[in-house]
Amino acid sequence: MRFKRVCCPFRRLTRIVRITKTPVVKPTLESLEQTYRRPLFDLIQESRRVFLEFWPKNEVQLCTLLSVKTGGCSEDCGYCAQSAHYNTGLQKERLMTVDEVLPVAKTARENGSTRFCMGAAWKGVRDGDAKFETMLETVREVSKLGMEVCVTLGQLGDIEARKLKEAGLTAYNHNIDTSPEHYKKIVSTHSFEDRLNTIGSVQRAGLSVCCGGIIGMGETETDRLRMLEVISNFNPQPESVPINSLMPMPGTPLANSPQVDPFDLVRMIACTRIAVPKAKVRLSAGRTRLSDEVQALCFFAGANSIFYGEKLLTADNPEAEKDRALLAKLGLETLEPDMSLAAPNIDPNLPASPSIGCCGGPAKCEDVAPAKVGCC
C-alpha cells in the first residue's frame, strides 16, 4: 500500500495518509480565517485541487426553483420580499395544486433541469395540516418524473420529515442564512436554534440536507466564516450548500444593502469547497449581477450547481438560454440526476449534529439547549 505526506489545509501540521481522497477535516473558525485570507490565486488553486479529487468530471447540476406558495409569510426575515411584515408590493398567492405544479416540473425537466425545488412562504408545516398533505401529494407526483426533488417548507419535526422521505423527497433545504451571532439582527420571529432543530429532524429521517446562507446582509467576514464553520461541522455534512449573494428587495430592511464584492463571493465559494468537499456547492441568488467571467471563476473555484430558470422564488435569475451558452463555452456538462441519492453517512467518531455547542462547535455549552441541538 502506498502512502504520501500531505499538509492539511486547515491545520499547520503534516500527516502520513494513504494515497486516496484527501480526508475530510472539520474546520474551526481560526482555520477557516487562515484559509480565506490566503492570496486569492493560492486559495483557488487549493479549492480546485480539492474539487477535482471529489468531483473529477466537468459537470454542473441544474436546479429549477418554483415558489408554490408566494407571499404573506408570518416571519420577518429582513431580506425577504415575501414577509407580511414589509410593504414590498408582492401579491400573496395561495398554495399551488399538484395539477398546477406538474406542468412546470415537466417543462423544467425538458429544459435540462435534474433537480426540482419547491419553496413555500410560511413558518412551517405540521402533520395533518391540509397544506402539508398537498405538499406530500405534490412530492409523490414530481418524484415520478425522473428528477431529484427538494422542498423548502420552513420548520418541521421528525414526523413531517419522515413522511416527506416516504413520499419520495430527495433533499430538504433549510438555510441557516448567517452566523449565530448575526442571525438575531436579520430575523426575530424565530431563532437560530429553531433552524438547527429542523435540520436535525431532516437528518434523523435520512434525508439529504441542503443548507447554506446569504452574504451581503451587513455581516462581517467573521460572520460569514462562522456560518460556514457551523455548516461544515454538521454530522453528516450537507449534501448541497447554496451560497447566495443578497438581492436587495424594495420595501425590506435590507433594500439599500451594497452589492457583494465579486471576489468576496469567489473566496466564499472556494472556502466552502474546501470545508465541505463532497457537497454540491450551489452558486445561487445574485448571478444576474455577475459577469460570465466571475461566474466562470466561481465554477473553477468549486461551484458545481446553479439554479436554472428565470426566477428564484421572487428574485430574477439569468435566462436558461444564457446559462446554456455559458456552460457550453466553459465545456461544462449537466450532472445527471441520482434518484437513489442517499443522505451522506454519519461519522461515528464525531458528535451528533447539528450543534453550535461544546462538541467542537462554535458556541459555549450554556448558549444552547443540549437536548435540542445535540450538544454533548
Residue 257 in domain: yes
Residue 16 has pLDDT above 50, yes or no: no
What is the predicted pLDDT for the residue at 173? 97
The 10s digit of each residue's pLDDT in 215-273 is 999 999 999 999 999 999 999 999 999 999 999 999 999 999 999 999 999 999 999 99
The 10s digit of each residue's pLDDT in 90-136 is 888 999 999 999 999 999 998 889 999 999 999 999 999 999 999 99
What is the predicted pLDDT for the residue at 26? 78
Q: How confident is the model at residue 360 (pLDDT cuts 50, 70, 90)?
A: very low
Mean pLDDT for 47-61 is 96
The 10s digit of each residue's pLDDT in 291-313 is 999 999 999 999 999 988 665 54
What is the predicted pLDDT for the residue at 310? 60
What is the predicted pLDDT for the residue at 158? 97
- Compare 285 and 339 and report the one with higher pLDDT: 285
- Compare 174 and 317 and report the one with higher pLDDT: 174
Residue 13 in domain: no
Per the structure, the complete domain to which residue 161 belongs is given by 51-334
What is the predicted pLDDT for the residue at 283? 95
Residue 66 in domain: yes
For residue 138, list its beta bridge partners: none
Residue 22 in domain: no
The 10s digit of each residue's pLDDT in 185-222 is 999 999 999 999 999 999 999 999 999 999 999 999 99
Rg of the chain (C-alpha set): 20
What is the predicted pLDDT for the residue at 91? 85
Residue 374 in domain: no
Q: How confident is the model at residue 13 (pLDDT cuts 50, 70, 90)?
A: very low
Positions marked active-site? 73, 77, 80, 117, 150, 210, 282
Give the whole-angstrom CA distance, residue 139 versus residue 295: 31
Mean pLDDT, the chain, whole residue set: 86
What is the predicted pLDDT for the residue at 129? 93
What is the predicted pLDDT for the residue at 374? 35
Count of domains observed in the chain: 1
The 10s digit of each residue's pLDDT in 128-160 is 999 999 999 999 999 999 999 999 999 999 999
Residue 366 has pLDDT above 80, yes or no: no
Residue 320 in domain: yes
Residue 96 in domain: yes
pTM of the model: 0.86
Residue 11 has pLDDT above 50, yes or no: no
CATH no. for residue 325? 3.20.20.70
What is the predicted pLDDT for the residue at 352? 67
Residue 34 in domain: no
